[in-house]
Chains A and B, each alone.
Chain A
Amino acid sequence: MKKLVSILMTIALIACLCTAAFAEAAPVKVGFIFLHDENSTYDLNFINAAKQACEEMGVEYVLITNIDEGQQCYDAAAELVEDEGCNIVFADSFGHESFMIQAAKDYPEVQFCHATGTQAHTVGLDNYHNAFASIYEGRFLAGVAAGMKLNEMIEAGQFSAEEAKIGYVGAYPYAEVKSGYTSFFLGARSICPTATMEVTFTNSWYDEALEKEGATRLINDGCKLISQHADSMGAPTACENAGVPDVSYNGSTIDACPNTFIVSSRIDWAPYMKHMIECVQTGAAIEADWTGTIETGSVVLTDVNEAVAAAGTVEKIEEVKAALLDGSVKVFDTAAFTVGGEALTSYLADVDDMGDFVGETEVIEDGAFQESKFRSAPYFDLDIDGITIIDK
């Protein structure tokens, strides 16, 4: 029995060595791990980018969908490396991170790239990388469109300026979501100064019923416009049913919601995916932490739905976008918001994310909160005045 086991293990070892040697000589093959499938707007955005990037770069790829944030993720990564011969593995969900790190330790010759994670810059592995985009800029621009719509509705006499309340369906109450809705709100308020916002959390990335329920609740609560950071069609559908305008996320929802969809900001992951493929092709090192921007083409807006958006929205967005690019407008300008009634002059954010929950990095510089500067994943986790969280 012992002999048998040792023979089997030797065979397995040789097989491993063979595939490892083979993988090095072989051209680039990318394996993608997705939390859900194309029914989720979030994953669809990644899936489209993955196909586009790999086809443009002319490399092979494998997609695995519906992978839980658990050992399944590790197994999927191992599968991609050992059985599919991938030399880049990419995972798209925040909760995949620790399992990707585990896989990166076990397969040092393979590059592991993880979207939205926070630990690559501190974990000390050469083959593990994080990436995100300064999506707060996109959110801000989407917020501008929302502000325009609010102003239009106020002028049309649908409600008073004081009643200009936005509703927001968020997934989890942590930095990525908070940074998103705060920048969206600041964008809207830069256009409609009396705007306020109510936020509800679903505590799930994908729960169509909860998201729909959340949006409906906000609408019943008097919200005149809805936006969301959760991945199903729940909130957009609720808006379409109620006839309330919606600023979407991750991609256009115009097909399902032609009468309420205004615009959507999204991260285009193709630039990063092409970048990582190029790095592996040329043997260059991939950055531990990569932040996409408007310039890299990572932060984009979908086409504005002119049937719903206020007149002049497209022009206004272009104007603000130019201002963001030349630096004359900053999203988290400390003059634009207060926390607990006071302007922010100093804030230590937990950028290193060592599990201590203690902020160590001063992130207020040049009169603005410097989001995505010290780490690609967002760390803006403040509750600013004007935004009410209706459930914790």
Chain B
Amino acid sequence: MNKEPLFHISKRGAVPWYAAWAIRGCAVLLALIVCALITTLVTGENPISVYVTIFNGTFGSPRRMWVTFQNVAILLCISLAVTPAFRMRFWNIGGEGQTLIGCLASAACMILLRDALPGWAIICCMIVSSIVAGAIWGGIPAFFKARWGTNETLFTLMMNYIATQLVAFFCVVWESPKGSGQIGIINQKTELGWLPVIGGQRYLLNILVVAVLTVVMYIYLNYSKHGYEISVVGESERTARYVGIKVDRVIMRTMLLSGGICGIAGLLLVGSTDHTLTTTLAGGNGFTAVMVSWLAKFNPIWMILTSFLLAFLSKGAGEISKAFALNQSFSDILTGVILFFIIGSEFFINYRIHFRHGKKEG
């Protein structure tokens, strides 16, 4: 008779919501304890003061809160963008590139049209062109997927690199001074093409736009025919075909939407906050967005929480390196530990571990 293995893993049935959140809560707690251990062992700093610092860095003053919410807004915007694609099991990891290309389109309008058009007209061009640019960047892999069944993960990933190189190229074309590879703030003196500042708060516009977008996306995914079609395609393409959904069309339409919203993120970055163009403008948010969306189970409302968590972690991480004069790598370690536990907790929510002595009847 074969010896039974030490433990085996089985899929759980439906887990009541409070149990799921209890597991998640434990994971966060464990993560904090492990981080505290690492902090004390490696640096000799008091872990409590490190946590206080993280909290202060994020909420310490009204200004810090604005910056935090701005970071959340951009991350959430890109997460919202990739979500419809994820819901139909189309793994769009090209959010970074789609955002960058939106940035490029906005910056191009600000630079090329500044002598030709008044400010409001430039802004209109920026809105249209960045959405279209993002949509095209998302639409190309979708077209290939729908037509020839190419792998969308690799395709969207590679589109990121093309977008980065294109931006690098235009940074050299528009650089100032010559040879520096720097564009600097575009239209700093005239502020042409800068999106309006609402109520004296330079980040409020972004936050409002993304808030509206979140609600619209929630309704679109859950209460519209399109949203339903996306879910059906995600569950099973064959079923979708059987009930008469044109799968190719849904893929194309959803990816155009996905890319278009990334384009909006690009527009907000260039038009409203940064007013410049660099290859690092999207700042890895296109990839972090994948995690935000996935952790929230592709639910836009939950994504507010998860994007907040991730923005909070990275902001706090920067604060640690400043306050304790530690290298950025240390805060990356802490972020890594916390994410490891949070993602790991999903495993325990979905699966149960049975140890050998637990059940004899197998």
Q: How far is the CA of A11 from the CA of B321 in the complex (A)?
A: 29
- In the assembled complex, B2 has its CB within 8 A of some CB on chain A: no
B61 touches A71 (CB 8 A): no
B residues in contact with A178, CB < 8 Å: 179
Nearest chain B CB to A10 CB, angstrom units: 11
B325 sits at the interface (CB 8 A): yes
Give the segment of B33-41, B88-96, B180-188, B211-219 that binds chain A.
B180-188
| A62 contacts across to B, CB distance below 8 A | 322
Any B CB within 8 A of the CB of A329: no
Partner of B181, one of A65, A82, A203: A203
Instruction: Kindly state the separation between the CA atoms of A118 and B179 in the bound complex, as whole angstroms.
Output: 14
B301 CB → nearest A CB, Å = 21
- Is A63 touching B179 in the complex (CB atoms < 8 A)? no
Q: Contact check, B185 vs A118: say whether CB atoms are below 8 A apart.
A: no
Highest count of chain A CB atoms <10 Å: which of B168, B181, B283, B318: B181
* Residues of chain B within 8 A of A95, CB atoms compared: 180, 182, 184, 278
Contact B280 A66 (CB under 8 A): no
Minimum C-beta distance from B57 to chain A (A): 9
Residue of B nearest to A174 (CB): B179
On whether the beta carbons of A9 and B200 are closer than 8 Å, the reply is yes
Bitwise interface map of A from 168 to 183 toward B, beta carbon under 8 Å scored 1, else 0: 0000111101100000
A349 to chain B, nearest CB (A): 11
Q: Hey, which chain A residues are within 8 Å of B117, CB to CB?
A: none
B contact face: mostly helix, strand, loop, or mixed:
loop
- The answer to whether A70 touches B179 (Cβ under 8 A) is no
A48 interface contact, C-beta 8 A: no
Instruction: Check B177 against A71 for contact (C-beta < 8 Å).
Output: no
Residue interface bits B129-172, CB-to-A below 8 A is 1, else 0: 00000000000000000000000000000000000000010001
Q: Report whether A70 and B276 are in contact in the complex, using a CB–CB cutoff of 8 Å.
A: yes
For B327, give its contact among A38, A118, A203 (CB under 8 Å).
Answer: A38
Most B CB within 10 A of own CB, among A12, A62, A66, A70: A70
Query: Roughly how many angstroms separate A39 CA and B60 CA in the complex, as a whole number?
Result: 29
- Asked if residues A5 and B182 are in contact (CB atoms below 8 Å), the reply is no
Cβ 8 A contact of A175, one of B61, B177, B278, B321: B177
Q: Would you give the 0/1 interface string for B48-63, flagging 1 where the beta carbon is closer than 8 Å to chain A? A: 0000000000001111
Closest to A205 in B: B181
Instruction: Tell me whether A70 and B280 are in contact in the complex, defined as CB-CB below 8 angstroms, given that A94-B182, A97-B184 are known contacts.
Output: yes
Chain A residue numbers with a CB within 8 Å of B178 are 174, 357, 381
Assuming the A-B contacts A37-B328, A175-B179, are A15 and B61 also in contact, with contact meaning beta carbons closer than 8 angstroms in the complex?
A: yes
Q: Which of A98-106, A139-147, A187-195 contacts the other chain?
A: A98-106
Determine whether the beta carbon of A381 is less than 8 Å from that of B327. Answer: no
Instruction: Evaluate contact between B322 and A172: CB separation under 8 angstroms.
Output: no
Judging by beta carbons under 8 Å apart, are A75 and B67 in contact?
yes
Do the beta carbons of A98 and B276 come within 8 Å of each other?
yes
How many residues does chain B have at the interface if contact means C-beta atoms less than 8 Å apart? 34
Of the residues A9, A68, A350, A381, contact of B199 by C-beta under 8 Å: A9
Cα distance A75–B318 in the bound complex, in angstroms: 12
Number of interface residues of A (CB under 8 A): 43
**Which residues of A59-100 have CB atoms within 8 Å of chain B's CB atoms?**
62-66, 68-71, 75, 78-79, 82-83, 94-95, 97-99
| Interface residue? A333 (CB, 8 A) | no
Query: Is there an interface contact between B321 and A65, defined as CB atoms closer than 8 Å?
Result: yes
Q: How far is the CB of B105 from chain A (nearest CB, A)?
A: 18
Q: Are A69 and B321 in contact (CB under 8 A)?
A: no
Residue from B62, B177, B281, B328 with most neighbouring chain A CB atoms (10 Å): B177
B179 close to A71 (CB less than 8 A): no
A65 CA to B322 CA in the complex, in Å? 7
Bound-complex Cα distance A376 to B281 (A): 30
Q: A337-365, CB under 8 A of B: which get 1 and which 0?
A: 00000000000001001010100000000
B182 surroundings in chain A (CB, below 8 A)? 69, 94-95
Q: Measured between C-beta atoms, what is the minimum distance from B200 to chain A in Å?
A: 7
* Contact (Cβ within 8 A) A63 B322: yes
Chain A residue at minimal CB-CB distance from B185: A98
Contact present for A64 and B322 (CB under 8 Å):
yes
Contacts of A78 in B (CB 8 A): 63
Q: Is the CB of B276 within 8 A of A118?
A: no
- Chain B contacts with A in 174-220, Cβ cutoff 8 A: 176-182, 184-185, 188, 199-200
Chain A residues with Cβ below 8 Å from B200 are: 9
**Known contacts A5-B199, A70-B280, A71-B273: does B179 contact A83 (CB below 8 Å)?**
no
Q: How far is the CA of A102 from the CA of B189 in the complex (A)?
A: 10
Q: In the complex the two chains form, what is the Cα distance from A128 to B352 in whole Å?
A: 62
Given known contacts A71-B273, A78-B63, A79-B63, A172 and B327 CB-to-CB distance under 8 angstroms: no
B-facing residues in A4-47 (Cβ within 8 Å): 5, 8-9, 11-12, 15, 37-39
Q: What is the 8 Å Cβ interface bit string for chain A, positions 116-140, against chain B (1 contact, 0 not)?
A: 0010000000000000000000000
* Given known A-B contacts A5-B199, A98-B276, A101-B188, A66 and B321 have beta carbons under 8 A apart: yes
* Cβ < 8 Å to A, chain B residues 292-342: 318, 321-322, 325, 327-328
User: Once the chains bind, are B179 and A172 in contact (CB under 8 Å)?
Assistant: yes
Q: Does B274 sit at the interface, judged by CB under 8 A?
A: yes
Q: Do the beta carbons of A15 and B62 come within 8 Å of each other?
A: yes
Which residues does chain A contribute within 8 Å of B280, judged by CB atoms?
Answer: 68, 70
Question: Which of A12, A68, A101, A172 is the one whose CB lies under 8 Å from B278?
Answer: A68
Give chain B residues whose Cβ lies under 8 Å from the Cβ of A71: 273-276
Contact call B62/A12, Cβ cutoff below 8 A: yes
20 contacts between A and B (CB under 8 A): A9-B199, A15-B61, A65-B322, A65-B328, A66-B318, A69-B276, A70-B274, A70-B276, A70-B280, A70-B281, A82-B61, A82-B63, A83-B63, A94-B182, A95-B180, A95-B184, A102-B188, A172-B181, A175-B177, A357-B177
Extra contacts, 9 of them, besides A95-B184, A174-B180, A175-B179 (Cβ < 8 A), are A15-B62, A65-B322, A69-B182, A71-B276, A102-B188, A174-B177, A174-B178, A174-B181, A178-B179
Which residues of A are at the interface with B, using a C-beta cutoff of 8 A?
Answer: 5, 8-9, 11-12, 15, 37-39, 62-66, 68-71, 75, 78-79, 82-83, 94-95, 97-99, 101-102, 118, 172-175, 177-178, 203, 350, 353, 355, 357, 381
Chain B contact residues, CB within 8 Å of chain A: 60-64, 67, 168, 172, 176-182, 184-185, 188, 199-200, 273-276, 278, 280-281, 283, 318, 321-322, 325, 327-328
